[in-house]
Structure 1
């Protein structure tokens, strides 16, 4: 029987944030954004200034029971979306914007992160839950592009989700948004052709149809506040995802061999951080090198490997990346020399 260590209980913070946000949306929707902003600020400031927050406990090996934190998050996010939509139905524009920020913060920071982890699971049910979470932010193609595209091409010029040296976040965003979407549909088409399956068997197609149906239904019913809330929370969640993508491989390039093929992915091809609060809330996502080297390894088992280190945790780096001169000044001195090839 698997037992949890005391230090593993930190991952329960992954359920505390959506629960607190749900309570805030239900209790005082007009000020829900304040709570989300305070939490973000506390994590970012704490990891940048408090030495105790700069290291996470090491992995103690397999902890399969911790997968239930990811699974339990799914109904919490659905409840949060329903509560946010209900509050937005008769709210004014500032309240709708605040609700979208609060809910999108949870859906992007945690929902997409947990969908990513569930999608790497060997269990079909977990992967289905990943599709549900990505459908909640209208970004289902991530479930194709990330596993079949990004993990193959990460830290190469061909990967739309890998930021190039000197590329600002604001130049990166249109390139990754368009490139990831187009490549996902191309990969899905090739996959279905290879397996001799019809598009009717494609979860990407059905996730897209479901999203279009929800948008159409809300518009047809005249629920414009709910429609605006859902679109804006999705947009903010997607921005968080793609900003994290920008951070994770910024300026790192794999070398090529004599045939032009990229070298194997190594610890030097992803930025890492081992800060306590972000790793606890984001299922060890910041141990990113180990995740790429061992893509099927469950999040509690990820190790803090040597390699390029971020100046602080993701919560702070997202804010830094939004300011290109500050970001470049911090990162270029940390970036390892490019590989030959």
Structure 2
């Protein structure tokens, strides 16, 4: 945890600036293009497969990405508030398209090669990792947006990793209870990752379900209550597993098993972030502030 530090409560270099010059805008957009490295690698791998040889070499960009994160290069500058939004929004939509394409092409590839093949392992690592940040990180951004279709798109991305309830729990639960014993997504002091994982996975789903039941009028309503027809967590659960069943029907059992594995890998990455982000922190104030999260200054991670 040497690279992690408490999120800063004081201004940093460049923080608070309202003006972004053209050069600064271009530089930041170009740096943000680094987020395409793994999704494009995944796309090229699944689109051009099956591969006669050298399957393992496709993992090189993933290994280099991990190495870059340990390079020690940091960036603590805050972006100007006046940066134009459209290039970054365009990048978000591009990542959404890549995520969907990568999954569909991966299903096709696994259907061709069979499950017990090196292509499956590489596809899980590449596409699953890409699902973790091209899918979940983009979804996290979108579910916080105020535009309805963007929030819906965020839920679709979460559904592609069988984790739609995150959209409910994260926005309406985690943001309210972060750093408190009531938050299933806050790791406790001394808690191991696997202990956290065993607690947070069912805990977040149960919390999301209760939040929806409360919205519908009764936090303790039974599952067979007619009001549950309006339960968004139930809607997401049905939709994501209907999609998974469709994968099995169209592409076969091998593709279905791959879908489960890439989703599990992506969710594990998400919960790794949750684990480190709030590990051992206890909120002392009534409102959440920057000291309630751990942060990293790794330049590569930022993009």
Q: Distance in 1 between matches of 2:42 and 2:287?
A: 41
**Structure 1 residue 263 corresponds to structure 2 residue 286:** yes
Unpaired runs of 5+ in structure 2?
1-19, 219-225
Distance 1:90 1:273, change over 3 A: same
Q: Which residue in the other structure is 1:7 paired with?
A: 28
CA distance in 1, matches of 2:121, 2:63: 19
Q: Where do residues 112-151 of structure 1 align in structure 2 (5 Å cutoff)?
A: 112-151=136-175
Report matched runs for 1:79-118 at 5 Å: 79-92=101-114, 93-94=116-117, 95-118=119-142
Whole-Å separation in 2 of the counterparts to 1:74 and 1:270: 27
Q: Among 199, 221, 244, which residue is 2:273 paired with?
A: 244
After superposing the two structures, state which structure 1 stretch, 105-114 or 7-16, moved more.
7-16
Structure 2 residue aligned with 1:58: 78
Say if 2:186 and 2:274, in contact at 8 Å, map to a contact too.
yes
Residue 155 (str. 1) matches residue 179 (str. 2): yes
Contact in 2 for aligned 1:137/1:234 (Cα 8 Å): yes
So what's the TM-score if we normalise by structure 1? 0.72
Aligned twin of 1:49: 71
Are the equivalent residues in 2 in contact too, given 1:29–1:99 (CA < 8 A)?
no
Corresponding residue of 1:18: 39
RMSD over aligned Cα atoms:
2.3
Deviations 1:7-48 (A, max 9, x none): 23211222343122101222245666653x433432332232
Structure 1 residues 247 and 142: CA distance shift in structure 2, 3 A: same
Aligned length: 268
Contact 2:50 2:112 in 1 (8 A): no
Deviations 1:265-303 (A, max 9, x none): 2222100112211111xxxxxxxxxxxxxxxxxxxxxxx
Please give the alpha-carbon distance, in whole angstroms, between the structure 1 residues aligned to 2:103 and 2:62.
Answer: 19
Corresponding position: 1:272 with 2:301: no
User: In 2 relative to 1, CA 14–189 (structure 1 residues): closer, same or farther, beyond 3 Å?
Assistant: same
Q: Which has the higher contact order (CA 8 A, sep 6+)?
A: 2
Secondary structure at the residue paired with 1:54?
Answer: coil
Please tell me whether the aligned partners of residues 25 and 32 of structure 1 are also in contact (alpha carbons under 8 angstroms). Answer: no
Bigger mean CA deviation after superposition, 54-63 or 214-223? 214-223
Contact persistence 2:212–2:232 (CA under 8 A): no
1:289 counterpart residue number: none
- Whether 2:282 is the aligned partner of 1:253: answer yes
TM-score normalised according to structure 2 size: 0.81
Specify every segment of 5 or more residues in structure 1 that has no aligned partner in the other structure, as ranges.
Answer: 256-261, 281-341
